[in-house]
Structure 1
């Protein structure tokens, strides 16, 4: 049974208002705000969710304060993403470059060590794509968002999608 109806109504009404405000802010700020392109984007997404939860559940945070926090997070993400598009140094600060951890079936042990990725992680990614033999793999790339992309020899083509990866190794 509910002991405090006022608290329940507060959560429902404040939660709905904060949710609608967040949706409006996200629509205005564009798709990039919730993109999971790199670790920076993931942090912003988690921070938005945490802020929304705090607005809804904490009596110490007013709706206006919470909306200001959401707006600040979205504005900072927008500014940093805009700077990263314009200046390489800002891009380098905001995100890492993709890095090959396996090329032509051969592990890059230095890359694995530096990126703190295990052979087991790479093998798992390869298996999850339906491959059973490293000889079938042209490259496995640790992407800027932390995911592992597996490119087979069959789909590697001219490898024109890999130059940035090779430059960062």
Structure 2
């Protein structure tokens, strides 16, 4: 259908404006961490918030109050997980993955296979950092959010930033 009714358009205008304002207020209240990409749980919350907003906006079966409550619930759970994981080590180990070293001082590492990353993907990450030669790369890390970090420095570098990365030679 191209057009159902003016009422439906008015509902989208009112609910969309109110839900958007509520989401902005909620995100300002809960802080920057709510929309961060630090781990898989953060990504899930970000996607779920968008889904809830869209559902509240377009489905007449979901009230504005239900949509706002769902967003508050998601942000509250995200806050609780982040708060607890910073304070309780076993909980942090349960909900967060560790960054993994994929390339180190001139060598592609066997961890690539376990993480399902190809050499081509690592080379792409190096190129995207504007680095032309692997000799100028100290390390490539698969971060907890699935992104690659390229650490410049070459093969003789000692890399302090790799302190909490899984697979760093001791």
Specify the TM-score bucket, using the shorter chain as the normaliser: over 0.9
- CA RMSD between the two structures: 1.8
Residue-pair matches, total? 167
Which structure 2 residues correspond to residues 1-169 of structure 1 after superposition, within 5 A? 2-109=3-110, 111-153=111-153, 158-166=158-166
Partner Cα separation in structure 1 for residue 83 and residue 93 of structure 2: 13
CA contact (8 A) 1:105 1:136 kept: no
Larger helix percent: 1
Q: TM-score, normalised by structure 2?
A: 0.92
Partner deviation per Cα, 1:75-112 (whole Å, 9 max, x = no partner): 00000000110011111222211110000121012x11
Partner Cα separation in structure 2 for residue 168 and residue 65 of structure 1: 47
Partner Cα separation in structure 2 for residue 3 and residue 166 of structure 1: 56
CA contact (8 A) 2:98 2:166 kept: no
> Tell me, which stretches of 5 or more residues in structure 2 are unaligned?
none
Query: CA offset at residue 129 of structure 1?
Result: 1.1
Q: TM-score, normalised by structure 1?
A: 0.92
Partner Cα separation in structure 2 for residue 87 and residue 75 of structure 1: 18
Secondary structure in structure 2 of the residue aligned to 1:164:
coil
CA contact (8 A) 2:162 2:168 kept: no
CA contact (8 A) 1:99 1:141 kept: yes
**Kindly tell me: are residues 59 and 135 of structure 1, through their superposed partners in 2, closer, same or farther at Cα, counting changes over 3 Å?**
same
Partner Cα separation in structure 2 for residue 167 and residue 118 of structure 1: 17
> Tell me, which stretches of 5 or more residues in structure 1 are unaligned?
none
CA contact (8 A) 2:19 2:64 kept: yes
Secondary structure in structure 1 of the residue aligned to 2:164:
helix
* 4+ long deviations beyond 2 Å: 166-169
**Kindly tell me: are residues 65 and 168 of structure 1, through their superposed partners in 2, closer, same or farther at Cα, counting changes over 3 Å?**
farther
